[in-house]
Amino acid sequence: MSKSTHTLSDLIEERLKPGADADDIDRRIEAMFGERWCVVFTDMSGFSRRAARSGIISFLVLMHQLNKIVQPIVRRNGGIVVKIIADSHLILFRDPRHGLAACLELQKAVHRHNSSVPEPDQIYIGAGIGYGDCLKLGDDDVFGVEVNFAAKLGEDLAGPYEVFVTPDAVKAIGKFDGVRFKKVAGSRLGGTKLPYYEAVYDAPRDTNVRKAKRGRVRFR
């Protein structure tokens, strides 16, 4: 356990004691760990299906290949990979525009990879972007509402080549060349009434994409 994680755990334990001044403890937690970040979650489409079909070792190879694609793109755009959770990446950017740029560059890099390898070796990912106040524990972890939203978008909702964005992230990004934000009809973030948006861009056209879909995906 890192010092940051240990400190936060101690403060939460203090907050649970009878008669604790919760407002004061919350203020101290915010002062120590509160930061504003753009949060990106990426997730490989078809994890369970492809692992069951090809075996876990083959899938581990795909995860390794994906990480080799992700890391340099994140660094070029000023991001930090905080966690790799199986086939998902949790990435932070100070500037949400850099986060979106990295997601688009990543999708294009994955498409280039797919065009040069056979279907079993192809990789498809979805991405979710959030932006807002977080509690960042050094380089170990990050917590916050926008973190949860980004995870929901990237891991559960976005399909191959899709980039979904929270309303706060859309506002922070503003106008972006080659991209428009389209509200997803009937969308809701978690148990809230907040919609989410699709970053509509010149998405790669891929004849094998239907095989990788977990749900409905639209291409232009």
Alpha helices in 34-124 (DSSP H): 47-54, 56-76, 96-115
| 137 and 104 Cβ atoms separated by less than 8 Å | no
Residue 27 located in a structural domain:
no
Contact 59, 170 (CB under 8 A): no
Neighbour tally for 90: CB within 10 Å: 21
Give the span between the Cα atoms of 100 and 40, in whole angstroms: 9
Specify if 87 maps to a domain.
Answer: yes
pLDDT of residue 216: 37
Q: Which CATH number characterizes residue 144's domain?
A: 3.30.70.1230
Q: Per-residue pLDDT tens for 95-110?
A: 999 999 999 999 999 9
Residue 29 lies in a domain: no
Residue 122, C-beta contacts closer than 8 angstroms, at least 6 positions apart: 113, 114, 208, 212
140-188 pLDDT tens trace = 899 999 999 999 999 999 999 999 999 999 999 999 999 999 999 999 9
pLDDT band for position 209 (cuts 50, 70, 90): low
pTM of the predicted model as reported, rounded to 2 decimal places:
0.90
Per-residue confidence (pLDDT) for residue 218, from 0 to 100: 37
- Domain presence at residue 14: no
CA distance 204 to 220: 8
Helix, strand or coil, per DSSP, at residue 143: strand
Residue 177 belongs to domain spanning: 35-212
Q: Are the C-beta atoms of 174 and 151 separated by less than 8 Å?
A: no
Q: Is residue 6 part of a domain?
A: no
| 175, part of any domain | yes
Number of domain units in the chain: 1
Checking if the pLDDT of 208 tops 70, the result is: no
Question: In the chain, pLDDT over 70 holds for what percent of residues?
Answer: 88
